[in-house]
Structure 1
Amino acid sequence: MEHGGDYRQWPFLTPEEFELVCAFFDQKYVKAELGPTRKVFKIRLRRTLTTGSSYIEILRLLQLPGENDDLSLAFEKLNGGHDGPGVEIDMLAAEDADQEALRPQLQNQHIEAMDNGALPQYSLHSHQPYVTYEVHLHPTYNLPTLWFTLHDLPMGEPTFDLESVYRYLVPPEYKSRLRAIGPTGGISAAPHPVTDIPAFFIHPCQTKEALQCFDCKMDDYLIIWLGLVGGCVGLWVPPEMAA
């Protein structure tokens, strides 16, 4: 398969190719007719300050919000309340702008963002657990890697805990298979590639074999890849993005 002649070495990606597939994926999200889905599912194309490399950030509420829920309002205000084109840069000025865009016009809502590219920290008053997924290019495997972290779980439930991941993210049909695989090829933990804070990720060692069964151009690369990787931790791309 030539895969449209888009790739230097299918299914691996160079940093330049990864930049392109991220941009295509973000563009699909911006253009898709998602309706209410945008209240609980948000995608942003981001860039690290230290290396200048792109990555994809996906935020998803773990339960349907109330009509006036603080966190759902914060989701709606991402990118100034609309999903126009643009790249989010992990620099101080950009994070300050994010804080203003994310701040609902409700009392006592406080949102912070770290200058080093960490995700905005939503107020605990929202009472809405959510998950952040990130797609980074693995420097050794030269393949996308899915990282994820849980946030604002109910009192007493740890966010960096494998059992919490299985309870909140892993669908029942995947649980026994993932536990049998073990760390390599399943859910692993390591310092986050941007923040260096412990996070979970799906090991990319089996991604090559799965992708080789497909023939896709760059604008569909992350759609196909997430269809293979994301479901085991509760991440599905809205079908409108694949249209």
Structure 2
Amino acid sequence: MRRLTTFPRLTEAEFKTACTAFHNRFLQHQDSQQEWTSVDPLQSFNTRYLRITRPLQPNARDTPKSDDAEQESEVEESEDEEALPYTPAPAPEALINYDIILSPTYCVPTLYIHILDPLHRFPPTLDTLYQHLVPSPYASQTRDVGVLGGITITDHPISNKPVFFIHPCRTAEVMEASASGRDLEPEAYLMLWIGAMGKCVGLDVPPALALASSKTENKRWGETRMILVVN
């Protein structure tokens, strides 16, 4: 597979190659992981992008229910001999869509995050962002803008709906530091980018996919060393 020509940036062709390879990797190993629901390469008009979907794991405070309230409910039901057993229907599952789109200005992947919820429990507000998307260790970093460029609310470039957005102004700098001098291929770039930029909003590469990627890179490095030794 060809190497990147404009690292730490990507061309459109390299971004397409990365998305296709990453999608194929997910299809090969999706049964070995439970973190992600799907990985889909999509296109709208001339815009190609990759959508990663995972379930939203709600915090306990999303469905508050105290022990006292449960006991009181049990007492009321026991006092009414004719009361029928009641099992509340489970609330519909909410999903998080992570859309990865190549920025035409910065020539790096950008991340747009949208919570898909039939009950509209998670509006695109800063409260939702810090309660349900940003892990605690990254909260202060995102609030202070930091090396990731900050998380804002903007309109999705395709749907025009308000979504969360990681600004790409410093992505090239982050990628260059993260690569540590390695010569990356498109898919390896995308894997590294997700690891560097996605953690602050709960997007982590499942271990099964990361392990498969590591084995592939080690195999290629071994083949390269063998060629050098033979020559």
Q: Which residue of 1 aligns with 2:38?
A: 42
Deviations 1:35-59 (A, max 9, x none): 3516x521111111x21x3211111
Q: Relative to structure 2, which stretch is displaced further, 204-213 or 131-140?
A: 204-213
Shift, 1:194, TM fit: 0.9
- Find out whether 1:236 has 2:189 as its counterpart: no
Asked whether 1:132 is paired with 2:128, we answer no
Distance 1:189 1:33 in 2: 31
Cα pair distance change 1:33/1:161, threshold 3 Å? closer
Unmatched segments (≥5 aa) in structure 1: 65-124
SS in 2 for 1:204: coil
Residues of 1 paired with 2:201 and 2:162: CA distance? Answer: 17
- Compare 230-239 and 211-220 and name the one that shifted more: 211-220
Provide the residue aligned with 1:227 in structure 2.
Answer: 195
Given that 1:34 and 1:240 are in contact with CA atoms closer than 8 Å, whether structure 2 keeps it comes out as no
Instruction: Determine the structure 2 residue equivalent to 1:117.
Output: none
Name the counterpart of 1:12: 9
Verify the 8 A CA contact 1:187 1:200 in the aligned structure 2.
yes
Distance 1:193 1:227 in 2: 23
Do residues 30 (structure 1) and 24 (structure 2) align?
no
**For 2:18, what is the secondary structure of its paired residue?**
helix
Name the structure where helix makes up a greater proportion of residues: 2
- Distance in 2 (CA, whole Å) between partners of 1:13 and 1:45 is 17
User: Which AA in structure 1 matches 2:205?
Assistant: V
The 8 Å contact of residues 170 and 233 in structure 1, kept in 2 or not, is answered as yes
Structure of larger gyration radius: 2
Distance 1:57 1:131 in 2: 10
Could you tell me how far apart the structure 2 residues matched to 1:23 and 1:162 are? 33
| Alpha-carbon distance between aligned partners in 2 of 1:193 and 1:131, rounded to the nearest angstrom | 17
Could you list the runs of 5+ residues in structure 2 that have no partner in the other structure?
59-89, 213-231
Q: TM-score, normalised by structure 1?
A: 0.66
SS of alignment partner, residue 32 of structure 1: helix
Misfit runs of 4+, over 3 Å: 33-36
Does the 8 Å CA contact 2:95/2:115 hold for their aligned counterparts? yes
Note the alpha carbon deviations across 1:160-187, whole angstroms, 9 max, x for none. Answer: 11110110010000001111118x8110
State how far apart, in whole Å, the 2-side matches of 1:5 and 1:130 are: 35
2:162 aligns with 198
Separation in structure 2 between the aligned mates of residue 158 and residue 30 of structure 1, nearest angstrom? 29
Mark the CA change 1:227 to 1:42 in structure 2 (over 3 Å): closer, same or farther.
same
Query: Normalization by structure 2: what TM-score?
Result: 0.69
